[in-house]
Every structure is written in structure tokens, then in C-alpha cells.
Amino acid sequence: MPKIVNALGGVMVGQAKQDADQRCKVFVYGTLKRGFANHYFLRNAHFFGMAKTVKMYGLYVDEFPSVYAWDAVSPIRGEVYDIDMLTLRCLDGVEGHPRFSRREEIEVLLDSGQLLWVWFYFYPQRGKRLISNGEFNLSTGLAQEMD
């Protein structure tokens, strides 16, 4: 059975708790990923691995990629990073949490098979175009810009 680790590094399920070194895990699925302009905000982060969400959600593209929690379309594919609290606060600003998006703790499955609790940003409405396979990449991003 896989070990379950919460977003803030402690071995537990559920509500996030800060550990002694004040680090946490965050899952990114859009322009914060490697190869995109906003990845700059993760310059001090440690790449932890590729993963997909355990639950299914709706990934949409409008002016930017966003996940709508109430559409069970597909698992969302992305990258997990180990970050400090300063970076988390910075990402909250980039993502507009809590006014524009909301950050929640969800469970993801790393490609290595480990289950992990991470921070994840949800948006309150659907974007214009659904990405049905749940993975935002250069081709889906470029296709959106050309529409």
C-alpha cells in the first residue's frame, strides 16, 4: 500500500499541518509548469515529480488554464514541487487566492506510485475550452492562443 503524505510533509491524511521546516508540496498544471513563463515563480522550488490527481476534474483554457472542481472529466496531469512558505504566499498572489481562486489540499498519485497530499488551485467557473485529457502543454496552450 502506498505511503500517504500530506501537503506539508507530515505523514497524515486530511487537514494540512505545518512541519518544522515550513515546507509544503504544491501541484501545478498550467503556466507554472516547466517551459511556461510563470515557472519563474518556482525558481527556488525543488521538483518532486510528475503526478495526476486521484479525483477527476475539468481542465479549461481561457486566458489561462484553470481547473473547475465540479466537472468530473479526467484526472489532471501536472508537476509537484516542494516549496517554502514564502513561495506558497507568492503563488497565492499569482493565482489570486483567496479572492479569485481557492487553494485546497487534494490527493495526487505520483508517477512513482506514491500517494501524496498537495496544495492545488481551483477556479470558480469554467473556461472557454475544455482540455478533455486533463493535461495542459505547449500544444494545448498554443491552440488556445490561436483560437
Residue 91's alpha-carbon distances to 10, 38, 130, in angstroms, are 21, 10, 24
Residue 95 annotated in active site: yes
The catalytically annotated residue of 79, 95, 107, 135 is 95
In one letter, which amino acid is 120?
F
The answer to whether 2 and 108 are in contact (CB under 8 A) is no
DSSP string for 29-51: -STTSTTSGGGGGGTT-EEEEEE
Residues taking part in catalysis: 95
